[in-house]
């Protein structure tokens, strides 16, 4: 299998995970906005990976920049839901995740360079920051609900 096929399969896996969480939210009688946001984040991740894997079918600008933007939005939504394990909206957590996402999405959409090395590095740095930040917040917080075990 080539890299495009593997990326496409990863996109389909994210889509299936998002569908499972969406089904759980819709079947559950009590609505949980964080789980819904997690499912939407998975849909963004799936769309971003599918955009990137179809580079040859659509232009590079759309495939890479829009795909990277969707990936960052998806990971941001997912990580925000993970660090909101007590089902309470906290502004500092939201701003800590929203700021790097905003900067990177604007960079992806405005960037018109000939090489895509800068957006690729920015994508990995932002996703790495979000992973480390949410991991630290998750470890340092007290788990009061079972949302973390679901996510």
Give the span between the Cα atoms of 144 and 128, in whole angstroms: 26
Please enumerate in sequence order all residues whose Cβ is within 8 A of that of 137, keeping only pairs 6 or more positions apart, or say none: 83, 93
Instruction: Convert the pLDDT of each residue in 88-139 to its tens digit.
Output: 777 877 787 788 888 877 777 777 666 677 777 777 788 888 888 877 777 7
Instruction: Convert the pLDDT of each residue in 45-78 to its tens digit.
Output: 898 888 888 877 777 777 777 888 888 888 888 8
DSSP designation for 143:
P
Give the span between the Cα atoms of 107 and 43, in whole angstroms: 22
């Amino acid at each position: 299998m080539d890299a495009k096929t593997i990326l496409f399969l990863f996109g389909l896996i994210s889509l299936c995970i998002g569908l499972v969480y969406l089904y759980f939210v819709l079947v559950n009688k009590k609505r949980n906005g964080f789980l819904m946001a997690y499912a939407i984040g998975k849909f963004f991740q799936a769309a971003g990976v599918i955009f990137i894997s179809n580079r040859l079918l659509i232009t590079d600008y759309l495939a890479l920049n829009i795909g990277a933007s969707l990936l960052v939005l998806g990971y941001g939504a997912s990580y925000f839901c993970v660090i909101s394990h007590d089902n309470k909206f906290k502004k500092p957590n939201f701003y800590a995740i929203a700021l790097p996402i905003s900067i990177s999405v604007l960079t992806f959409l405005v960037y018109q360079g000939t090489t895509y090395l800068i957006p690729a590095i920015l994508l990995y740095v932002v996703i790495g920051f979000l992973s480390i930040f949410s991991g630290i917040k998750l470890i340092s917080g007290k788990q009061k609900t079972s949302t973390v075990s679901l996510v």
